[in-house]
Amino acid sequence: MPHRPVVIGVDSSTQSTKALFADAVTGRTLAVGRAPHHVDGSAGARESDPERWWQALREAVAAGLKESRAPASAVTAIAVAGQQHGLVSLGRDHRPLRPALLWNDTRSAPQAAALTAALGGPAAWTARTGSVPVAAMTAAKWRWLCEYEPSTIARCTAVRLPHDFLTERLAGVAVTDRGDASGAGWYSTATGSYDTEILQLIDLEAELLPSVAATGGARVGTLTTSAAEALGLPPGVVVAAGTGDNMSAAVGLGLGGAGLLDHPVLSLGTSGTVFAATRTRPANPALSGFAAADGGYLPLACTLNCTLAVDRVATLLGLDRDDAAPGGEAVLLPYLDGERTPDLPHAAGLLTGLRHATTPQQLLGAAYEGAVVTVLRALDEVLRACGLDPDSPAVAARPLRLIGGGAQGRTWVETVRRLSGRPLVVPSGTELVAVGAAALAAAAASGADPVAIAQGWGAGRGADLPPTERDLESWERIVSVLDSAAPTLLNGG
């Protein structure tokens, strides 16, 4: 009796790779293989070896295949969702010339500012790409590389984003999707193509870039013989275009044209991210106006300092991460790695409001509060980009979907409830990026809509938490500090 078809969704994140094996019909998770990455760097630098990503993908697929007990012949398709914005520079042998510059590498902040000015300011950029350059954007990283490593540029024959690099290793074709491409800074969401003027501005030849698939669920080929051997899979396995991690999470939640539109999501991970799937093309300089993997749009705001920064504060205080209490008068803005939203790439953490009675638990609670207020303020801009009034009672009553590692933490969930006053949905699926990638793989194999597939699988459903009374006193105190603190102080002064 033949085995039911299986699809693989790969989540290649900053810290690790996960390969989720799912029943292609029901979406039931059969196994999740995992393998770690390694991030190097200090003083703003964050780099990883792309070859380690490929090795981790191989290890994760091998582990998942073993755990699932599914025969390799049952696997019909695979798709990769990768961390956004990373810059991979390849040489003539198609091997990386240097470690990839990651999204949270802030050294390119001066280049981002220079690019913004060179094209005519924030409005000019959002009109073209939907986003204003910040240190995270790949275009700024390319300019940094041009200025500091011209010998690398001279030897570069191809430029890829992280998920593009892995997809090319799988299928042997240079292809990306509009979702991940829209985070690079050189793809126009207005025209649906690479922006020639921006490419000239940053001294990047279009021939170095991959082609752009219309959707992340587009079929781009099948596994090459060498990739199939490396993964222990048949050569005929379909490869989807894949997408960026945030776009894949939206698919996994069932958000998009075939599902829920204009419903906000808050992802609590290494970074804090808020986004919503919409049919309205965003052009707000305060946001990243990304394209979505399904053909729509994904206005998004990202903060650099979320779970990792708060965990660091807990470590400094010698506390467990949930050994926290509301901050009281203390305000702690945990901008330990600079900050992206607000755009303060050289920021340092800020602590104020200490009293003799302040406890370590309150300081940790204040770190949670500072991180949550920062990301919730960005949420208001995302809602406006969808054409919604964030202060409208009807909009405020719309559930906020809480995902990411922090969504599994009691203190994170309760801090978001208390400071937002919103109803929450905590989906039962915990690997939504990988689930979204699996849905993209299933779409590539079947030709169906990936959002409709994910909705049928039900990964976005979960626990419904009613709203609690909003803690406006704490909210207003933290916002006041954030707004009044001098930029020189936040920038490490």
CATH number, domain with residue 158 = 3.30.420.40
First to last CA, the chain: 69
- Cα 48 from Cα 164, distance rounded (Å): 15
In a domain, 446, yes or no: no
Of 311, 305, 338, 371, which is closest to residue 492 (Cα–Cα)? 338
Q: Residue 267, SS3?
A: strand
- Cα 452 from Cα 127, distance rounded (Å): 30
In a domain, 111, yes or no: yes
The domain boundary, picked from 251, 281, 316, lies at 251
Q: Residue 159, SS3?
A: strand
Q: Do 317 and 198 share a structural domain?
A: no
- Cα 193 from Cα 176, distance rounded (Å): 12
User: Residue 430: its pLDDT value, please?
Assistant: 81
Q: Do 205 and 136 share a structural domain?
A: yes
Q: Is-contact 268 402, C-beta < 8 A?
A: yes
Q: Is-contact 493 385, C-beta < 8 A?
A: no
Give me the residues paired with residue 290 across strands.
298
Q: Do 200 and 97 share a structural domain?
A: yes
Strand ranges in 283-349 using DSSP code E only, listed in sequence order: 288-291, 297-303, 331-333
Q: Do 282 and 203 share a structural domain?
A: no
Q: Is-contact 301 379, C-beta < 8 A?
A: yes
Tokens in use for 44?
């703003």
User: Residue 1: its pLDDT value, please?
Assistant: 47
Q: Do 409 and 345 share a structural domain?
A: yes
Q: Which residues contact 437 (CB under 8 A, 6 or more apart)?
A: 9, 10, 11, 20, 79, 80, 81, 240, 242, 243, 248, 251, 252
Structural domain of 285: 259-430+461-490
Q: Do 283 and 193 share a structural domain?
A: no
Q: Is-contact 130 284, C-beta < 8 A?
A: no
User: Residue 2: its pLDDT value, please?
Assistant: 64
In a domain, 439, yes or no: no
Q: Is-contact 258 274, C-beta < 8 A?
A: no
Cβ atoms within 10 Å, residue 253: 29
- pTM value is 0.88
- Cα 357 from Cα 368, distance rounded (Å): 19
- Cα 180 from Cα 164, distance rounded (Å): 9
In a domain, 359, yes or no: yes
User: Residue 491: its pLDDT value, please?
Assistant: 58
Q: Do 331 and 211 share a structural domain?
A: no
Q: What secondary structure letter does DSSP report for 3?
A: P
Q: Residue 190, SS3?
A: coil
User: Residue 34: its pLDDT value, please?
Assistant: 98
- Helix, strand, coil percentages for the chain (3-state, nearest 5): 40, 20, 40
User: Residue 486: its pLDDT value, please?
Assistant: 54
In a domain, 449, yes or no: no
The domain boundary, picked from 223, 251, 279, lies at 251
Q: Do 293 and 418 share a structural domain?
A: yes
Q: Do 265 and 166 share a structural domain?
A: no
Q: Which residues contact 212 (CB under 8 A, 6 or more apart)?
A: 175, 176, 177, 178, 181, 187, 192, 193, 194
In a domain, 229, yes or no: yes
- Cα 469 from Cα 281, distance rounded (Å): 33
Q: What is the CA radius of gyration of the chain?
A: 22
In a domain, 24, yes or no: yes
Q: Do 153 and 79 share a structural domain?
A: yes
Q: How many domains does the chain have?
A: 2
Catalytic site positions: 245
How is the beta sheet containing 424-427 ordered, strand by strand?
288-291, 297-303, 272-275, 265-268, 400-403, 424-427, 462-465
Of 164, 187, 198, 186, which is closest to residue 12 (Cα–Cα)? 164
Of 202, 180, 201, which is closest to residue 189 (Cα–Cα)? 180
Q: Do 281 and 235 share a structural domain?
A: no
Q: What secondary structure letter does DSSP report for 406?
A: G
Tokens in use for 448?
């169906």
Tokens in use for 423?
């109803």
In a domain, 287, yes or no: yes
User: Residue 428: its pLDDT value, please?
Assistant: 87
Q: Which residues contact 152 (CB under 8 A, 6 or more apart)?
A: 89, 97, 98, 145
Q: Do 217 and 139 share a structural domain?
A: yes
Q: What is the pLDDT along the chain (493 residues), one digit of tens a residue?
A: 467 999 999 999 999 999 999 999 999 999 999 999 999 998 899 999 999 999 999 999 999 999 999 999 999 999 999 999 999 999 999 999 999 999 989 999 999 999 999 999 999 999 999 999 999 999 999 999 999 999 999 999 999 999 999 999 999 999 999 999 999 999 999 999 999 999 999 999 999 999 999 999 999 999 999 999 999 999 999 999 999 999 999 999 999 987 788 889 999 988 899 999 999 998 888 889 999 999 999 999 989 899 999 999 999 999 999 999 999 999 999 999 888 788 787 888 999 999 999 999 999 999 999 999 999 999 999 999 898 999 899 998 899 999 988 999 999 999 999 999 999 999 988 899 999 999 999 999 999 999 999 999 998 889 999 999 999 999 999 999 988 875 554 555 5
The domain boundary, picked from 251, 281, 296, lies at 251
Tokens in use for 348?
């340092």
